[in-house]
Amino acid sequence: MTHLTRFAAIVLFTLFAGVGAASAADYPVRAVKWVVPYPPAGTTDVLARIIAQWLSEKMGQQFVIENKPGAANNIGAEFVANSPPDGYTMLLVNPANGINASLYKKLPYNFIRDIAPVAGIVRTPNVMAVTNHIPVKNVAEFIVYYKANPGKVNMASSGSGTSVHMSGELFKTMTGCNMLHIPYKGAGPALVDLIAGQVHVLFDNLPSSAGHIKGGRIRAFAVTSAAREPSMPDVPTVAETVPGYEATAWFGIGMPKGTPRDIIEKVNAEVNRALADPKMRERLAELGGRPIPGTPEDFGKTIAAETEKWAKVVASSGATVD
């Protein structure tokens, strides 16, 4: 290589490096696609749209929600994992991403390897909702009732592999209540049958069940979080009867592995600003959400811990989708 050729190569490298740095500094310069692996209008979709509106207003470009439901989140997660790592494709990370790592025997991607954690958003409790058609008043009586009626009590969920399903599986493992699991295609039809008494218990996302609970159509026996839910202070936690029980839904943002660090930090900082805003915190509280601000590494630790936790539950319950 001649001196002239070497000099030209150095100039070109410097120019391209400068372009990359500038693009990261100016990010975003076009719309950002935010993949939500659920249908529109559900709690998860609403949460993403609230945060997307904030990011759009504060970062100067549209953060556009693209719903990609199917295969228990795997379609949306795989799409993001295979997208260019340029900061213009994000994933709404949720409990199914940690659960699926062990629930499915084979996946075409590895979530922890292929998705970079960006920012945590909120944790939300599930609620142990029980039909009015069985004569029990609390968690302790429910356990006694099950053991007096083996094989006659069943548990609904909004689908195999959801946090709703696995919250129930954890309860089964810790109490010995080996209820038949009946998966539905969403919380809506599961709630219809719970109200009618066709199924007996549902560990549902709190926002989905709250209206039915307040209307007296079903009963809230307990929330699944470690502490009581401020919006339902009279409802105990499952752990008050079953020590050590805790199961919450958690949500955040991920991007394809290899996305530039400064882009990740820029989005992380803006999400943390959103979570510190009093009006935003109030809106999230209406969904039963408790903000989980922190660094990308903090959210990565959450993902790893939840993946490990639910792998143990999957193993002990024998649950599988394949």
What count of other Cβ atoms lies within 10 Å of the Cβ of residue 257? 14
What six digits make up the tokens of 20? 């990359």
Domain boundary residue, one of 223, 240, 257: 240
Positions of the chain with pLDDT lower than 70, given as ranges: 1-23, 322
Task: Note whether 47 and 103 are same-domain residues.
Answer: yes
What would the pLDDT profile of 230-284 be if each residue is shown by its tens digit? Answer: 889 999 999 999 999 999 989 999 999 999 999 999 999 999 999 999 999 999 9
Q: Is residue 104 part of a domain?
A: yes
Task: Note whether 117 and 262 are same-domain residues.
Answer: yes
Q: What's the rounded Cα separation, in Å, for the pair 186 and 196?
A: 16
Task: Note whether 118 and 82 are same-domain residues.
Answer: yes
Predicted confidence at residue 205, as pLDDT, reads: 85
What backbone phi and psi angles, to 5 degrees, belong to 184?
-115, 165
What six digits make up the tokens of 309? 């936790």
Domain boundary residue, one of 209, 240, 271: 240
Task: Note whether 116 and 261 are same-domain residues.
Answer: yes
Predicted confidence at residue 23, as pLDDT, reads: 56
Taking a C-beta distance cutoff of 8 angstroms, is the pair 210, 43 a contact? no
Task: Note whether 189 and 108 are same-domain residues.
Answer: no
Q: Is residue 1 part of a domain?
A: no
Please report, for the domain that includes residue 20, its CATH number. Answer: 3.40.190.150
Predicted confidence at residue 46, as pLDDT, reads: 87
Task: Note whether 120 and 10 are same-domain residues.
Answer: yes
Q: Is residue 322 part of a domain?
A: no
Domain boundary residue, one of 210, 240, 270: 240
Predicted confidence at residue 15, as pLDDT, reads: 40
Please report, for the domain that includes residue 203, its CATH number. Answer: 3.40.190.10
Q: For 227, what's the count of Cα atoms within 13 Å in the CB-facing half-sphere?
A: 8
Task: Note whether 33 and 115 are same-domain residues.
Answer: yes
Predicted confidence at residue 128, as pLDDT, reads: 98
Predicted confidence at residue 7, as pLDDT, reads: 39
pTM listed for this prediction: 0.82
